[in-house]
Amino acid sequence: MQEILETDSHLVISALQGDAAAGGVPLALAADHVVAREDVVLNPYYQHMGGLYGSEYWTYLLPRRVGAEQAAALTQTFTPVGTRRAVGLGLLDATFGDSLASFNAQVRGLAERLARHPDREHWLEQKRQARARDEAVKPLSVYRTEELARSHECFFGSDRSYHEARRRFVYKLGAPCAVTPAAPVAFQAVVAQA
């Protein structure tokens, strides 16, 4: 994912044909343009997986898209987000395509328009400048280190909630176990206006 975030020679499009949850949401948000089919559901919540924290640069990507307050709300409650609301929140740039064929055709059209757009080089320069500003405030490596430290605690700490949730999922034993409420995540505002 770091490679997507650091790509400064191309505009990157995420095109979600199906639902995305937990780490799938920040993976999509790493792109410059994020679009989805009309009936897609997003759920950036990790806690139902036994308190799993996640390590996909989500503490950078989610607040960058929706702001720190909304990022905290989305990750602390199990509330799926439909495409209309996702566009309103800024999780998605657009939603279209009532069928897979229609969606794919419209994504191809979007990619062609962006590739040929006369402002493309200007947008790429803005992208490079925004990434440099964000890196100066807090490097991606720091986000990764912090997220991996929290994930390490989920895997190897004394709380066994993640392991129980994983066991129940693998053996199809029903709903995940009760989760110990995680400490609220504090997001540092590092969003650069591009």
Tell me, what's the pLDDT at 179? 44
* Domain limits, the chain: 2-170
Record the tokens describing residue 95, joined without a space: 């939603």
In CATH terms, the superfamily for domain 2-170 is: 2-enoyl-CoA Hydratase; Chain A, domain 1 (3.90.226.10)
Tell me, what's the pLDDT at 193? 42
C-alpha to C-alpha distances, 72 to 20, 63, 67, 97, nearest whole angstrom: 18, 8, 9, 30
* DSSP bridge pairs for 14: 34
Q: Is 3 within 8 Å of 115 (Cβ atoms)?
A: no
With residue 82 as reference, give the H or E element that holds it: strand 81-82
Tell me, what's the pLDDT at 178? 44
Note down pLDDT in tens along the chain; length 194 residues: 999 999 999 999 999 999 998 889 999 999 999 999 999 999 988 777 777 888 889 999 999 999 999 999 998 888 899 999 999 999 999 999 989 999 999 999 999 999 999 999 999 999 999 999 999 999 999 999 999 999 999 889 998 888 888 888 889 887 654 444 455 556 554 444 44
What distance, in Å, lies between the first and last C-alpha atoms of the chain?
21
C-alpha to C-alpha distances, 93 to 84, 88, 153, nearest whole angstrom: 10, 9, 34
* Residue with the two structure tokens 């997003």: 42
Handedness of CA 85, 187, 178, 166 (dihedral sign): positive
With residue 14 as reference, give the H or E element that holds it: strand 13-16
Q: Which residues touch 153 (CB under 8 Å, ≥6 apart)?
A: 53, 159
- pTM to 2 decimal places: 0.84
DSSP, res 51: T
